[in-house]
Amino acid sequence: MIHKKQIEGIFGERAVFNASARKFTTFKTGGSVAVIVFPSTEKEIDFLFDLNKDGVCVKFIGCGSNILISDDGFDGIIAITRNFSSIEYSDNFLRIFSGVELKKVLGFCVKNTLQNLEFLAGIPGTVGGSIIGNAGANNKSISDVIHSIRFLDKNGFWCEKRKDDIIWGYRYSDLRRYAFFVEWARISVEKGDRKIIKENIKDIMKKRIQNQPLGYPSAGCIFKNPPGNFAGMLIENSGLKGFRIGDAEVSNKHANFIINLGNATSLDIWKIMVHIQSTIKKKYNIDLEPEIELIGRFP
């Protein structure tokens, strides 16, 4: 049970009750969320851990990408990590806190002539979510550059683990299994040439603009690539580009994107996901696994 006065006592104006998911998700869909909080200290994370332990469901998000919240809403707590926003540079390592957007990481790298992270250009979201999901592009993943991570585990202990002590996979880390909250990551960088770094980022962004529907609300790629294949190609070859339910549509630009044309509901998007999975299963006998997280109740 959520105790409003207790939450207000901890977070004050950094707690919002009965907020629309449309306002903080990149899909711009979803119902009412019981509580949204903006934690900024480890003590506040400990408080959320205690609530979660007592049966209140707590979900951490960054920019609201890579998630789909039910039209029925969510009766737990959404904790938005934007106040964990520091970047520190020392001895060829960045210590980046979980709420920092990836585009701001790249801005810091350009300003300080640091290379190795250009492959993150155009990936939506924050450092915390990208670590949990081992985000990446162009055959590189964030796990390739991680040195160590600090997190609160699901037993309530603050821990620091080196990269090699974490199990990584394609769009996967086992932190999802035992980490309650990722606080920061130490990431390897190298001094480089600012002009070359900017050109690399520009080239990657140019390709994304050409190939992805960045002008519409979406959550990024919907499905993980199955082994030895590409989800977008399978969807496109199944004739599903442009498939539409309500105001949700499979993008004609990139078939692994579902876009909101204006007034889509989460249910519209979910129905398209189910239709895609069913079609690909029948045509190729492949089970497409969602890359996005569903929050709340779906049919």
pLDDT in tens, 286-298: 999 999 999 999 9
pLDDT at 8 over 80: yes
Apex 154 CA angle, 10 and 13, nearest 5: 15
d(CA 123, CA 129): 11
The active-site residue out of 101, 118, 249, 291 is: 291
Q: Kindly indicate whether the domain formed by 213-295 is annotated with CATH number 3.40.50.720.
A: no
- Rg (C-alpha) for the chain, rounded Å, is 19
The alpha carbon of 211 is separated from its chain's Cα centroid by a whole number of angstroms, namely 20
Mean pLDDT of 191-206: 96
Which pLDDT does position 131 carry in this prediction? Answer: 96
Which pLDDT does position 141 carry in this prediction? Answer: 96
Which pLDDT does position 29 carry in this prediction? Answer: 98
Which pLDDT does position 139 carry in this prediction? Answer: 87
pLDDT at 229 over 90: yes
One of 3.90.660.10, 3.30.465.10, 3.10.310.70, 1.10.1060.10 is the CATH number of 87-209, namely 3.30.465.10
First to last CA, the chain: 24
63 is known as an active-site residue: no
Which distant-in-sequence residues (6+ apart) come within 8 Å of 128 by Cβ?
60, 62, 81, 84, 98, 99, 181, 182
d(CA 234, CA 236): 6
The active-site residue out of 101, 118, 171, 183 is: 171
Contact 70, 296 (CB under 8 A): yes
Apex 25 CA angle, 177 and 27, nearest 5: 105
Range in 30-34, 85-89, 159-163, 212-216 the model is least confident about: 212-216
Contact 151, 183 (CB under 8 A): yes
Which pLDDT does position 44 carry in this prediction? Answer: 98
pLDDT in tens, 33-56: 999 999 999 999 999 999 999 999
Mean pLDDT of 227-233: 96
pLDDT in tens, 125-181: 999 999 999 999 888 999 999 999 999 999 999 999 999 999 999 999 999 999 999
Which pLDDT does position 48 carry in this prediction? Answer: 97
Tell me which fold the domain 4-80 belongs to. 3.30.43
pLDDT at 222 over 80: yes
What is the domain partition of the chain in residue ranges? 4-80, 87-209, 213-295
Dihedral Cα 245, 251, 255, 256, nearest 10 deg: -80
Residue % of the chain over a pLDDT of 90: 97
pLDDT at 3 over 90: no
The active-site residue out of 63, 109, 221, 249 is: 221
Instruction: List, in sequence order, every beta strand (DSSP E) within the chain.
Output: 15-20, 32-37, 58-61, 67-69, 74-80, 87-90, 93-97, 114-115, 136-137, 140-141, 146-153, 158-162, 168-169, 172-173, 179-188, 190-191, 244-245, 248-250, 258-260, 293-295
Which pLDDT does position 122 carry in this prediction? Answer: 92
57 is known as an active-site residue: no
Mean pLDDT of 76-92: 97
13 is known as an active-site residue: no
Which distant-in-sequence residues (6+ apart) come within 8 Å of 220 by Cβ?
26, 65, 66, 123, 124, 125, 257, 291, 292
Q: With cut-offs at 50, 70 and 90, classify the pLDDT of residue 104.
A: very high
pTM > 0.85: yes or no: yes
pLDDT at 1 over 80: no
Contact 153, 180 (CB under 8 A): yes
Mean per-residue pLDDT of the chain: 96
Mean pLDDT of 100-110: 97
